[in-house]
Amino acid sequence: MKRVNVIQAKAFFKVVALLALLLLNANGLAFALTENASGVPQNTPTTATAEPVAVPAAVAHAPEEEKAGEVIMHHILDNNVFSFEPFGSVNLPKIIVGGFDISITKHVVMLWVVSAILLIIFSIVGSKYKKMTSRQAPKGIVNAMEALVEFIRTDVAKANIGPGYEKYLTYLLTVFFFVLLCNLLGLVPYGATATGNINVTLTLATFTFFITQVAALKAHGLKGYLAHLTGGTHPALWIIMIPIEFIGLFTKPVALTIRLFANMTAGHIVILSLIFISFILKSYIVAVVMSVPFSIFIYLLELFVAFLQAFIFTMLSSLFIGLASAHEGNEAHEAGVAHH
Amino acid sequence: MLTSGIILLAGSLLSPNPGLIFWTAVTFVIVLLILKKIAWGPILNALEEREKGIQSSIDRAHQAKDESEAILRKNRELLAKADAESDRIIREGKEYADKLRTDFTEKAQAEAKKMIATAKDEIEQEKRRALDVLRNEVADLAVMGAEKIIKTALDADMQKKIVDSMIQDLSTKRN
């Protein structure tokens, strides 16, 4: 529980950072708009920015900042172009089937790259394991992967789900490596963070949601599942309890979705903003003293967060499965409630 | 100012994209199925097998330790028993030897006593027999002397000579 609190605090700070940046950004845009509207570029001391910038610099300042906001969002958001600046860009195909737009976007390509890397790594590892006898010790990449697999198996799945955890290992392991690699590839040049897109995290959380519900149904049966929705209270309270419990079912996957998405997006926005500060202020000193060291620091933090968020997603998924399949216990239920 | 914020939040960052959801689901499910086949199965099997192997090794080691301890205990017991046994045997041997010695000495003494007694008896008998023989001899001699004396009673010289010669005879005979 404590660990989760710390993580939520971290997520909170990131959201604050994101909001602050959005506000700054909005100010910049607002400034640009007023500037265009008034048509008086010179001698407008109404700088919306809080930084003590020299007034003459304000002229070039506003469009730059607007551009910065656009560039940042362009980097974060999904689009149909996979750009390899300065070498050019690849336009991705648009596919529309039966009125649904299922175009291949940048994030879809990243998902496929992730899948390809996962499949290559694990086909190597898997074939090594098939050849290996139980008396041989693993080495190299097999050993590295085994450490992670064993960690997910014992410390995440076994610890949170308890007996019968083997059924869920396939999902948990896949989701861990999938999210981890998505997070990491966002830190690679020309890469994009697929897990920084809410649609991707929502889909993954939906899988967790369905698995959780199936686990609950299997563990308690339909009757027990429905009885759980009443919270074990007096029938007179059902009119309150059932909606609350019903909403409670959906808060878990929504929390998973937002947590992963916000963490991955926030880190990238912070890095890009730190870099853009030096462009906005047009100062080498700021670049050397602030932008580069701080963005390196945030980058390393992001590297950590990539692992952390993959772990959190997997751990919370297994926790939810464990809570759903645990046999009636008020502590377990309360723990689940206290958690979100 | 508000509009840009709304554009950023609602317009793009949180906008739903069914295509991406579709592709994520498809990609994830395919990856999951393939990985299950090629990776998780073998890896988890191997891990489980190794876990079992390690557990059984530990169990075996414990068993072997218990066994060896039991054997050691048994050996110690045997050793102690053997020590006691050897002590007993030595003691018994000593006792036996003592007994044997005393027996032998007693027997030997008894034998010696018996031998001495028989020897004494024999000596006594021999002495008696010798005395008897001597007595008979003396009687014979006396009779023979008396006979000679009687034969030569007429001549004193003769008698004297006879007695002398007889004595002479006796003494030579005796020597």
Count of structural domains within chain B: 1
What pLDDT is recorded for position A324? 84
Count of structural domains within chain A: 1
Domain span at residue B110 reads 30-174
Mean pLDDT over all residues of chain A?
77
* Among A173, A140, A133, A139, CA closest to A156: A173
For residue A66, name the pLDDT band (cuts at 50, 70, 90).
low
Is A245 part of the contact surface with chain B (CB cutoff 8 Å)? no
What pLDDT is recorded for position B154? 65
A190: left (phi over 0), alpha (psi -120 to 50) or beta: left
Contact B148, B166 (CB under 8 A): yes
Higher-pLDDT residue of B129, A332 = B129
Work out the number of other CB atoms within 10 angstroms of the CB of residue B72. Answer: 10
Is A170 part of the contact surface with chain B (CB cutoff 8 Å)? yes
What number is the average pLDDT over the span A16-44? 45
| For B6, nearest residue in chain A (alpha carbons) | A26
* Among A336, A331, A309, A337, CA closest to A320: A336
Higher-pLDDT residue of A165, B68 = B68
* Among A30, A20, A40, A17, CA closest to A65: A30
Domain-embedded: residue B6: no
**Whole-number Å distance between alpha carbons of B101 and B95:** 10
Higher-pLDDT residue of A335, A91 = A91
Partner A, chain B 129-158, Cβ-Cβ below 8 Å: none
Higher-pLDDT residue of B151, A12 = B151
Contact A309, A200 (CB under 8 A): no
Domain-embedded: residue B123: yes
Domain-embedded: residue B2: no
Domain span at residue A127 reads 2-339
Q: Sign of torsion, CA B138 B140 B141 B142?
A: positive
Which residue is listed with tokens 């014979």?
Answer: B140
Which residue is listed with tokens 């409670």?
Answer: A248
* Among A255, A256, A282, A196, CA closest to A18: A196
For residue A285, name the pLDDT band (cuts at 50, 70, 90).
confident
Angle, nearest 10°, between helix axes B41-151 and A106-131?
20
Domain-embedded: residue B131: yes
Among B2, B21, B53, beta carbon nearest to A202: B21
**Whole-number Å distance between alpha carbons of B115 and B94:** 31
CB under 8 Å to A166, separation ≥6 — which residues?
B44
What pLDDT is recorded for position B150? 77
Among A26, A104, A169, beta carbon nearest to B5: A26
What pLDDT is recorded for position B57? 92
The tens digit of pLDDT for each residue in A83-127 reads 787 787 888 888 888 777 788 888 888 899 999 999 999 898 888
Contact A316, A256 (CB under 8 A): yes
The tens digit of pLDDT for each residue in B54-71 reads 899 999 999 999 999 999
**Whole-number Å distance between alpha carbons of A178 and A157:** 16
Do A170 and B35 lie within an 8 Å CB cutoff? yes
What residues of B are in contact with residue A194 (Cβ under 8 Å)?
24
The β-bridge partners of A97 are: A100
Cis check: omega of the bond before B42, within 30 degrees of 0: no
Distances (CA, A) of B84 to B70, B80, B89, B92, B97: 21, 6, 9, 12, 19
Rg (CA), chain B: 66
Higher-pLDDT residue of A332, A146 = A146
Classified as helix, coil or strand, B155 is coil
Q: Tokens in use for A40?
A: 């008086």
Do A100 and B42 lie within an 8 Å CB cutoff? no
Least confident of B39-43, B142-146, B170-174: B170-174
What residues of B are in contact with residue A169 (Cβ under 8 Å)?
40, 44
For chain A, the three-class secondary structure string (H helix, E strand, C coil) is CHHHHHHHHHHHHHHHHHHHHHHHHHHHHHHHHHHHHHCCCCCCCCCCCCCCCCHHHHHHHHHHHHHHHHHHHHHHCCCCEEECCCCCEEECCCCEECCEECCCCHHHHHHHHHHHHHHHHHHHHHHHHHHCCCCCCCCCHHHHHHHHHHHHHHHHHHHHHCCCCHHHHHHHHHHHHHHHHHHHHCCCCCCCCHHHCHHHHHHHHHHHHHHHHHHHHHHHHHHHHHHHHCCCCCHHHHHHHHHHHHHHHHHHHHHHHHHHHHHHHHHHHHHHHHHHHHHHHCCHHHHHHHHHHHHHHHHHHHHHHHHHHHHHHHHHHHHHHHHHHCCCCHHHHHHHHHHC
Domain-embedded: residue B42: yes
What number is the average pLDDT over the span B89-103? 92
Least confident of A3-12, A107-116, A130-139, A308-317: A3-12
The tens digit of pLDDT for each residue in A174-222 reads 999 999 999 999 888 888 888 888 888 999 999 999 999 888 888 888 8
The tens digit of pLDDT for each residue in B121-152 reads 999 999 999 999 988 888 888 888 888 877 76
Mean pLDDT over all residues of chain B?
85
**Whole-number Å distance between alpha carbons of A102 and A93:** 10
* A40 pLDDT above the threshold of 80: no
**Whole-number Å distance between alpha carbons of B155 and B164:** 14
| For A21, nearest residue in chain B (alpha carbons) | B5
* A279 pLDDT above the threshold of 50: yes
Among B8, B20, B39, beta carbon nearest to A78: B20
Higher-pLDDT residue of A68, B118 = B118
